[in-house]
């Protein structure tokens, strides 16, 4: 399909979604409190990682690529066995894996708790069980794969804080599990939203998340 026809098709799909009251850039983001429990900003520059899953990894990656303090984002699979870590098997929903992103960040510029605040606020809907938007299955589950006990402590405390405050209409169902391994996804999935900005799925489901980040977190948003 030509780029002009793709753009027309995307515009038609987007207008249909708006007419049907689908989730849009103005109503998906949820204003959240800062985590009460968080790691303080480091006094020197460094490098740490966070592994998060929240539906199709294209959109989660697109959000965190625009966050100040994040130096790299890679999409992949976590939660299952090495032999099942490829898209064809994960897509069947029986691999045990979730589509995940590995975020490398500078803890002197952004805290783990702030990453979780963005994750819960604009990157996905943490109250949806085994689905996000049009995508269904355990591979699209909401999950935090912690790499150490401090991350587990911060994640558990923040989920409890959000549920107690009832900031969402339904309870947060995000799984908190120890990271066993992160398997990088195939090359054509990396930077997918950047390379396919006119694809209808990206226009409807993922670009609004990036816009929500810009609106909700202007101090943390950075152009790519």
Domain presence at residue 92: yes
Q: Which two tokens stand for residue 150?
A: 């401090």
Given pLDDT bands bounded at 50, 70 and 90, which one contains residue 10? very low
Taking a C-beta distance cutoff of 8 angstroms, is the pair 174, 162 a contact? no
Domain presence at residue 160: yes
Q: What range does the domain containing 172 cover?
A: 32-194
pLDDT at res. 13: 43
Domain presence at residue 214: no
Domain presence at residue 203: no
Average pLDDT on 177-189 reads 98
- Res. 21: pLDDT tops 80: no
Find the helix or strand (DSSP H, E) in which 112 lies.
helix 112-118
Residue 17 CA to chain centroid, in angstroms?
21
Given pLDDT bands bounded at 50, 70 and 90, which one contains residue 24? very low
Domain presence at residue 43: yes
Q: How far, in Å, are 3, 7, 25, 125 from residue 77 at the CA level?
A: 31, 31, 27, 19
Q: What residues contact 206, with CB distance under 8 A and at least 6 apart?
A: 56, 58, 59, 62, 193
Active site residue ranges: 56
- Res. 28: pLDDT tops 90: no
**Domain tally for the chain?**
1
CATH code where residue 156 lies: 3.30.1060.10
Domain presence at residue 200: no
Taking a C-beta distance cutoff of 8 angstroms, is the pair 192, 61 a contact? yes
- Res. 9: pLDDT tops 60: no
Domain presence at residue 213: no
Given pLDDT bands bounded at 50, 70 and 90, which one contains residue 99? very high
Average pLDDT on 64-84 reads 98
pLDDT at res. 11: 45
For 137: left if phi > 0, alpha if psi spans -120 to 50, otherwise beta; the answer is left
Given pLDDT bands bounded at 50, 70 and 90, which one contains residue 65? very high
- Res. 48: pLDDT tops 60: yes
Q: What residues contact 148, with CB distance under 8 A and at least 6 apart?
A: none
Domain presence at residue 173: yes
Poorest-pLDDT segment among 2-6, 83-87, 156-160:
2-6
- Residue that is written with structure tokens 């101090």 in the block: 219
Provide the whole-model pTM. 0.88
């Amino acid at each position: 399909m030509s780029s002009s026809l793709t753009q027309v098709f995307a515009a038609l799909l987007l207008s249909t979604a708006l007419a049907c009251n689908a989730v849009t850039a103005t109503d998906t983001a949820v204003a959240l409190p800062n985590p009460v429990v968080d790691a303080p900003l480091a006094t020197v520059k460094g490098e740490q990682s966070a592994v998060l899953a929240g539906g199709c990894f294209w959109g989660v990656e697109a959000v965190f690529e625009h966050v100040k303090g994040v130096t790299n984002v890679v999409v992949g699979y976590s939660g299952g066995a090495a032999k099942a870590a490829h898209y064809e098997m994960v897509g069947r929903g029986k691999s045990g894996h979730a589509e995940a992103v590995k975020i490398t960040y500078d803890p002197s510029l952004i805290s783990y708790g702030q990453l979780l605040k963005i994750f819960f606020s604009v990157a996905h809907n943490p109250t949806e069980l085994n689905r996000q938007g049009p995508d269904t299955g355990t591979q699209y589950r909401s999950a935090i794969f912690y790499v150490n006990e401090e991350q587990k402590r911060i994640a558990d405390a923040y989920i409890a804080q959000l549920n107690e405050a009832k900031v969402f209409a339904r309870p947060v169902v995000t799984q908190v599990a120890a990271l066993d391994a992160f398997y990088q996804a195939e090359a054509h999935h990396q930077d997918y939203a950047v390379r396919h900005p006119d694809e209808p799925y990206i226009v409807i489901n993922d670009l609004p998340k990036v816009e929500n980040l810009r609106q909700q977190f202007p101090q943390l948003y950075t152009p790519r």
